[in-house]
Amino acid sequence: MSPSGSDSAPGTKAAPLRTIGRAVRSAGPGEVIRVQAGEYAEGVLIDGAAVKEGRANAPITLLGEGKPRIVPAARGGTLVQVRKPHWIVEGFEIDVRGQPRFAVIFEGNTTGARLTGCDIHHGTLGGGVSTHGGARDVLIDNNHIHDFRRRPKGDSHGVVIQATSRNITVRGNDIHGNSGDSVQCLLPEHKGQAVARDVLIEGNQLHDNDENAVDIKTCQGVVIRDNTMYGFRKSPTSAGEAVVIHFSARDVRVEDNRISDAGRGISVGGSREGNQPSPVNVVVRGNDIRNITQSGGSDGAGIRVENSRGVEVVDNTIANAEGYGMMLGLGSNGAPSEDLTVRGNVIQGRNLVRLGKHRPGLKMDRNRYATEGTFKVDPEETQDLGRWRAVSGVDLKSTPLQ
């Protein structure tokens, strides 16, 4: 493949093809399409009867050499569309050039499909990379995804995982500078549509968006692990959380992440849709949360839990939250935080924990707290751990930090 090639050529290194589309239609299982440096103004469609499927032991690889640039054609939509299994797209710059298009979509039978080592940027539709329409078994790894901003305003996310997607992995990417989130897992669009499920978001740098690092709406079986997240502030559409899990999310684990410089660290609950269930079975474990700010009007909480059931907050470290290290069961939308477990956390700072009145079944113990920090059981405040135990009924075996 070369910008100086010809689609009537045999497609060898000495006589390359001109368009990526022609090469895609020619490749078979186990083959590598080598695309030389240069600019390619075309929509790449990995779909249709003329395009072969790869195999698990013989994928088809579309490989950029020297970071060839895919840009919008005069006609068409998304720049790269993957609708076949076992195709790998690697090593491209995908420049949407400020147009209202997605950069890459995965749809349908995408088992074994992969997007890796690409620089993907500057679109103005709802996101950069999207999975939808039953996309499954997709790996999005080691990409730089940035500057997706809807015009004149509105959400645009780095990676959008839509309803009906399943087994999607987002790993090792740097995703930032978007008007929405780095990664969002969306609600179903209509009643009866299958929720997105089995999502892994791991080892990414997620930072400096207008909203959040990760926003999990009504999705199931999500793991958010070992990411670094920073640079979020309150906006008209966000409290500035690094991670927010709300609507009817279910079976979500948030583990071993490093969070700093945000308006809130991790938030569970808060947003709901009519009489739909609140988040259920969420585990927040082993996260390091520091320097959470009230700048811009956020509450500055390290971890906040609102309407939900069966949430576990265990073994986290929270330091220097300008609000409270934890805010639990305030009932911001009138619904309780049911059967909440808070155990083994270390909280340092001026304001430690605020408990509201909407927390039936709360189990809270074996935490460690900075001395001289403030506890609040609405409406009483105290800096005395013994008094805190008496008025809250929790933390009987918790201790001050030495």
Tens of pLDDT, residues 134-179: 999 999 999 999 999 998 899 999 999 999 999 999 999 999 999 9
Strands (E), 147-218: 157-161, 166-171, 174-176, 183-185, 196-202, 205-207, 214-216
Amino acid at 199: V
- pLDDT (0 to 100) of residue 325: 99
Q: Determine the CATH number of domain 1-210.
A: 2.160.20.10
* Sequence spans of domains, the chain: 1-210, 213-402
d(CA 228, CA 288): 10
d(CA 27, CA 145): 27
Residue ranges in the chain modelled with pLDDT below 50:
none
Domains 1-210 and 213-402 share a fold: yes
At 391, is the secondary structure helix, strand, or coil? helix
d(CA 259, CA 199): 20
Looking at domain 213-402, which of 3.40.1190.20, 3.20.20.70, 3.40.50.720, 2.160.20.10 is its CATH number?
2.160.20.10
Is 219 within 8 Å of 198 (Cβ atoms)? Answer: no
For the record, the structure tokens of 364 come out as 């809270």
Q: For the stretch 196-207, what's the b/e string if a residue is b when 16 or more beta carbons lie within 10 angstroms of its beta carbon? A: bbbbbbbebbbb
Is 228 within 8 Å of 252 (Cβ atoms)? Answer: no
Quick count: other Cβ atoms within 10 Å of Cβ 393? Answer: 12
Q: What would you report as the CA-atom Rg of the chain, rounded to the nearest whole angstrom? A: 24
- pLDDT (0 to 100) of residue 184: 99
d(CA 355, CA 8): 72
Q: Is 31 exposed, middle or buried (0-12, 13-18, 19+ CB in 10 A)?
A: middle
H-helix or E-strand spanning residue 26:
helix 20-26
Amino acid at 356: G
Give Cβ neighbours of residue 276 (< 8 Å, ≥ 6 apart): 218, 247, 248
Is 112 within 8 Å of 83 (Cβ atoms)? Answer: no
